[in-house]
Structure 1
Amino acid sequence: MTTLGGAEFAPETTYLNTSTAGLLPRSAVEAVRDLAAKSATGSYDGSDGYESVASARTSFARIAGVDPGRVALGGSVAAHVALVAASLPAGAEVLFPEGEFSSVITPFTIRGDLRLRYVPLDALAESVRPSTALVAFSVVQSVDGRPADTAAILAAASAHGARTLADASQAAGWLPLDAGAFDYTVTGGFKFLLSPRGVSFLTVTEEAQGSLPPLYAGWVAAESPWDSTYGPVEQLASSARRLDAPPSFLAYHAAARSLALLESTGIEAIHAHTVSLAAEFRDGVAGLGHTPVDVGAAGSAIVAVPGWGKRLESLREAGVVASERGGNLRVAFHLYNSSADVAHTLEALAP
């Protein structure tokens, strides 16, 4: 059985559900256990977790291909998207793919004073027009694993002066990412980044940073946090840290270890491994007489099989954990999966 995870993982199931939540490495679990134990015994003063927070920021920046000063931390994708939504003037036009994940859309819809358009994912680039202020979309679609044509979308947005907001939650951790190509990216940490819930990342270009209101600003968002603990913060950080929400130490303590593992393994290696397993599974599904959702020649770590969402219970009985989205059976491969997982799942799906 060939995996990239080594001794860091010991799943007790055939786990193909990373699109919902990734497995935590042993090192991340141990880090949380140790910090929790210190919190219970009084040997932790409640303020010495910032080293792990800084480490997580730096690791994610390297994975995303940006400077750490371009990364803001938070607890959810929706909270990051809300900053972008709050920055738009009344009447601004926002363009989305049809069926986009709700956390990317809803912070804009609740404004009530924006013009929102929805088009098929394949038509997103050609649908950008001079009146479009922002194109908001997922790098990889949650419902079926389809990658967006990011090059075409970026070119169209640039041609019409529109900004771009990309959700990388289903991409970062297996797909090489150039976050700096987008004005904003948002990423939930609890999927392919193998971190707990409560970890999320916002990247913002230097030019676009000034447009975002620092709505979560507290002392941790100050240029000099330990000099800003009382009274109003006199100077916010000049970097994207001004957009930080106060971090959950336990979650980020784990994230620092998970992201370090991804870095040491290498995103390129994870990409090759996961896409190969997904292609193997797609071929097997076709051999069973079914057609997975087309993800294009570049492939995806996520495979969706229309109409097979109803097979979840029988898969679970066979020890396979997957998910159902939009009627699709959705499976996702990561560094802890192997060809043995593919074979076992196909056997469980066979008539």
Structure 2
Amino acid sequence: MDAAHFAEHSGGMQRIEPLGGDEFAPETTYLNSASCGLLPRRSAAALRAAVEESVSYGTMGRDYFAAATASRAAFARLMDVPADRVALGSSVAVQSAFVAASLPAGAEVLAPEGDFSSLVNPLAAHPGIKLRTVPLEALADEVRPGTALVALSAVQSLDGRIADLAAVRDAARTHGARTYLDVTQAAGWLPLRAADFDFVVAGAFKWLLCPKGATFMAFGGDLGRGEEWPAALHAGWVAGEDIGASNYGPIRPAATARRFDEPHAHYSYVAAEHSLGLLAELGVSTVHAHNTALADHYRAGLTERGLTPRPAPGSAIVSTPGLADAEERLAAAGVRVAVRGGLLRAAFHLYNSTDDVDRLLSLLD
């Protein structure tokens, strides 16, 4: 992290300034990125311009595909995969249903207990799939020869626990299972290797600072290169190899991961291009160091007050029991956090500072 990012408290403690310069100026103390992120000013400006353009050119704009193509490439760079390995979607749940449909009848899917419903419910609901859940910490050890897919979030939404991704990847490879990784609570602040997993999905409206409606699916492993793509069961005209000839009748799906594209929400991807560009400028490693330093500062403050957050070492999400009733008081004071599962959840991102952490702690007093 750049030394200019720090200043000194009068008491000698390091003070952490927000990243992103004047891209953010929230009227609240916003500590709720695990629910949804703030929109950068550059993204908001692009969105306003796109809405104004629609007055004369329709809601698909003058070029429906330009921002989507740029967003695909920007996400691919952040995840270190080729752009032709990324598909555009609308929600994690839709992508989970697609992954479920790619599995053979009777397939066992292994997932952590209590993982986010958008990831696991479409798998559980799919006819013929047998969903088995185990504690997150036991996930790698519970992969067995009959396991067809291991599905998990890289970071748990409820309490910020980070999965042992290398152990899960290696166990799945040992037993011939595919892997499906949800990085919605990780992409943008946690360094990741998407190529290590078969399916990697990201709802981009949290840490990636995009509007709802921007979702990305990256393909690692051998799918589409040396091994056939899964069937493009929800392919529409945008997924055709020749888009201009794909409006009527059955299509020939694109040779790349674009064969899994949904007709995208234009405005969401107009903003996404600029939000992902900002994260690329800052660098995920810089954001990671910033976020985790703030989270550690908050954990230390909780401990000083006799409070014990759920263990989640190295996470930007801190969830604490016994504080759920503080949410209403915090909201009235302009501090945005969340309550999940009876835990007060605070999430620290690039636009936060030690001043934000200290304000939260003082209000908890």
The aligned counterpart of 2:283 is 266
How far the C-alpha of 1:47 sits from its partner, in A, is: 4.9
Q: 2:267 aligns with which of 250, 268, 289?
A: 250
**Superposition pairs of residues 215-230 of structure 1, within 5 angstroms:** 215-230=233-248
The 1-side partners of 2:297 and 2:351 are apart by 16
Secondary structure in 2 aligned to 1:59? Answer: helix
Q: 1:95 aligns with which of 110, 121, 124?
A: 110
The 1-side partners of 2:280 and 2:87 are apart by 19
Is contact 2:39-2:211 (8 Å) kept? yes
Secondary structure in 1 aligned to 2:349? Answer: coil
2:166 matches 1:151: yes
Note closer, same or farther for the CA distance 1:40–1:255 as it changes in structure 2 (3 Å cut): same
The 2-side partners of 1:138 and 1:306 are apart by 22
- Partner AA of 1:195 in structure 2: C
Could you list the per-position Cα deviations for residues 208-242 of structure 1 after superposition, in whole angstroms to 9, with x for gaps in the alignment?
34352212212211112123334432x21111000
Is contact 1:138-1:148 (8 Å) kept? yes
The aligned counterpart of 2:8 is none
2:316 matches 1:295: no
**Superposition pairs of residues 1-351 of structure 1, within 5 angstroms:** 2-42=17-57, 46-205=61-220, 207-209=222-224, 210-233=228-251, 235-296=252-313, 299-350=314-365
Is contact 1:304-1:331 (8 Å) kept? yes
Note closer, same or farther for the CA distance 1:219–1:341 as it changes in structure 2 (3 Å cut): same
Could you list the per-position Cα deviations for residues 168-220 of structure 1 after superposition, in whole angstroms to 9, with x for gaps in the alignment?
00000101111110010111010000000000011113623435221221221
Could you list the per-position Cα deviations for residues 42-70 of structure 1 after superposition, in whole angstroms to 9, with x for gaps in the alignment?
48874513111011000000111111111
Note closer, same or farther for the CA distance 1:84–1:321 as it changes in structure 2 (3 Å cut): same
The 2-side partners of 1:152 and 1:41 are apart by 53
Note closer, same or farther for the CA distance 1:251–1:45 as it changes in structure 2 (3 Å cut): closer
Is contact 1:72-1:243 (8 Å) kept? yes
- Partner AA of 1:284 in structure 2: G
Is contact 1:4-1:335 (8 Å) kept? yes
Could you list the per-position Cα deviations for residues 70-111 of structure 1 after superposition, in whole angstroms to 9, with x for gaps in the alignment?
100001001111110011111110001010101111111212
More off after superposition, 218-227 vs 20-29: 218-227
The 1-side partners of 2:57 and 2:175 are apart by 57
Is contact 2:196-2:221 (8 Å) kept? no
More off after superposition, 156-165 vs 218-227: 218-227
The aligned counterpart of 2:3 is none
The 2-side partners of 1:61 and 1:10 are apart by 28
Is contact 1:83-1:213 (8 Å) kept? no
Could you list the per-position Cα deviations for residues 119-173 of structure 1 after superposition, in whole angstroms to 9, with x for gaps in the alignment?
1000000000001110000000000000000011111111111111010000001
In the superposition, the TM-score normalised over structure 2's length comes to: 0.92
Tell me, which stretches of 5 or more residues in structure 1 are unaligned? none
The 2-side partners of 1:271 and 1:20 are apart by 18
Note closer, same or farther for the CA distance 1:116–1:31 as it changes in structure 2 (3 Å cut): same
Percentage of pairs with the same residue: 50
The 2-side partners of 1:305 and 1:38 are apart by 45
Secondary structure in 1 aligned to 2:75? Answer: helix
In the superposition, the TM-score normalised over structure 1's length comes to: 0.96
The 2-side partners of 1:206 and 1:126 are apart by 21
Note closer, same or farther for the CA distance 1:13–1:85 as it changes in structure 2 (3 Å cut): same
The aligned counterpart of 2:4 is none
Is contact 1:83-1:212 (8 Å) kept? no
RMSD in angstroms over aligned alpha carbons?
1.4
Is contact 2:30-2:335 (8 Å) kept? yes
Secondary structure in 2 aligned to 1:259? Answer: helix
Is contact 2:239-2:260 (8 Å) kept? yes
Could you list the per-position Cα deviations for residues 221-268 of structure 1 after superposition, in whole angstroms to 9, with x for gaps in the alignment?
1112123334432x2111100000011111100000100011011111
- Partner AA of 2:326 in structure 1: R
Note closer, same or farther for the CA distance 1:205–1:45 as it changes in structure 2 (3 Å cut): closer
Note closer, same or farther for the CA distance 1:43–1:199 as it changes in structure 2 (3 Å cut): closer
- Partner AA of 2:108 in structure 1: E
Q: Deviation above 6 Å: which 4+ runs of structure 1?
A: none
